[in-house]
Amino acid sequence: MSAKPHHDQPPRDGGANYPTREQVDGATADGSPTPADQAFDAETIDFSSGAGKVNAVEAELAAERDRNLRLRAELENVRTRTARELADQHRYAALPLVRDLLPALDNIDRAFEAATKAGESGPLIEGFRLVRQQIASVLQQHNVREIPALGEPFDPQFHAAILQQPSNDVPANHITLVAQPGYQIFDRVVRPSQVIVSSGPA
């Protein structure tokens, strides 16, 4: 009679590769999650944390792109403003010289007018006239021109009224006399014309 196998003995392969009932049911003997479940939960947490980090990085990149666009726009504005300022400096570079030169031109005009009224003539008067023409030509080459005034409507941007008097020949608010001519370089006034303005018929 053969001996019955003893059930308490472990299998010959040691049983190391066979899961226990508790492992099959997804829990250990004390009810805690298995190592496999714990690993799955850890992976889920890491995934959520990674998605949050991606969103944070994307938000930071969007903020940096916006900041970069603002800096580029500001730099372009600075370049435009600097170019305009340099162009104006070149355009009106002769303005200080013209301001210093105009009083000398006024004196030539006064001397020529006084000599003409006194009835003087000759090479000296002709020389004054030629010098005056030469100076006016140089000013025109630098885009300096006399402001139209006599008979024109009064414009405070270009004219400075020193007196207002009635006139039967000149309409009201029009210039009857130019006491001192004004000049402008391009569109900028070097000095306004000093004028007398009509107030209309007496």
H helix or E strand, kind and range, residue 35: helix 35-91
pLDDT of residue 21: 52
Instruction: Look at residue 6 and tell me whether its pLDDT is greater than 70.
Output: no
pTM (whole model) above 0.85:
no
pLDDT of residue 154: 96
For residues 54-59, give the mean pLDDT.
Answer: 82
User: Could you tell me the two tokens for 117?
Assistant: 């009224």
CA atoms within 13 Å, Cβ hemisphere of 39: 4
- What integer best gives the mean pLDDT of the chain? 81
Beta sheet of 193-198, edge-to-edge order: 159-165, 193-198, 175-180
Instruction: Look at residue 40 and tell me whether its pLDDT is greater than 60.
Output: no
pLDDT of residue 28: 53
Q: How confident is the model at residue 52 (pLDDT cuts 50, 70, 90)?
A: confident
Q: How many residues does this entry show for the chain?
A: 202
Phi, psi torsion values for 57, nearest 5 degrees: -65, -40
Question: What CATH topology corresponds to 95-198?
Answer: Nucleotide Exchange Factor Grpe; Chain A, domain 2 (2.30.22)
Instruction: Look at residue 3 and tell me whether its pLDDT is greater than 60.
Output: no
pLDDT of residue 2: 47
For residues 97-115, give the mean pLDDT.
Answer: 90
What is the amino acid identity at position 46? Answer: D
Q: How far apart are CA 165 and CA 95, in angstroms?
A: 33
